[in-house]
Structure 1
Amino acid sequence: MSVNANEEVFDLLELFGKTVLFTCMRVKRNTVPDNLYVYDVRHDDDCSGRIVEVRPHILVNHWGTVICKEPIEMTDIGCKFVKEDDYRYTGETCKLTEYM
């Protein structure tokens, strides 16, 4: 199931030193304004709930979706690996219009 970004309440997440929006749902890309960037995040194979990878699209082990104001630089293979100290949940929530 995919959600409309304009109707979702997102968790705020600090990822690679930047504040981004996070939802555990898949977001319909056509509902996100063109000036924002959308990526899927993958959790580890042990299902411990740790974010381990960011990609433009994730099919297996999808943990959620992030929306950010700046692009995330990817490796040559089209992903960005995530270590535990690369992210933290802030405990706050936000709508897309508030974030923009």
Structure 2
Amino acid sequence: MAIFSAMKEGYLLAEIDGRSVLFTSMRLDRDTVPEGLFCYDIQDSARLDGSFTAINHFVDENHLGTILCKEPFPLDETGSYIPKNWGLTRGMTIEEFRRNSVVQATA
């Protein structure tokens, strides 16, 4: 399983239930995530169809990608958050994300 540096990856700005996050399809090394950002794995469905079924601290199987966010997601007793609405908007760097308040963007 390959693990990549958070500072060397490209990201897409995404919105999950009204929260702005950075998304990458790579699995990130948690030690490379800048202080002040929260890191979660995204779990795909068993069909591997990109359906974005759950947010977890770590996903071993059916890993769809990884997100970085400024505030933690409220995980349930199983350690998951099930998103209701999500979508990708545009590319963005970690530094742009950390510096700026994200304004609704369209692709």
TM-score range, shorter chain: over 0.9
Count of residue pairs the alignment pairs up:
97
Q: TM-score under structure 2 normalisation?
A: 0.86
The Cα of 1:11 is off from its aligned counterpart by 0.7
In structure 2, the residue matched to 1:41 is 42
In structure 1, the residue matched to 2:101 is none
The Cα of 1:55 is off from its aligned counterpart by 0.3
In structure 2, the residue matched to 1:18 is 19
Q: Secondary structure at the match of 2:54?
A: strand
Q: Secondary structure at the match of 1:2?
A: coil
- Cα distance in 2 between the residues matched to 1:14 and 1:72: 13
List alignment gaps of at least 5 residues for structure 1. none
Q: Secondary structure at the match of 1:99?
A: helix
- Cα distance in 2 between the residues matched to 1:76 and 1:11: 29
The Cα of 1:7 is off from its aligned counterpart by 1.2
Structure showing greater relative contact order (alpha-carbon pairs closer than 8 Å, 6 or more residues apart): 1
List alignment gaps of at least 5 residues for structure 2. 99-107
Contact 1:43 1:63 in 2 (8 A): yes
Correspondence list, 1:4-83, <5 A: 4-83=5-84
Percent of residue pairs identical: 32
Cα-Cα RMSD: 0.9
2:60 is aligned with 1:96: no
- Flag as ranges the 4+ runs of structure 1 deviating above 6 A: none
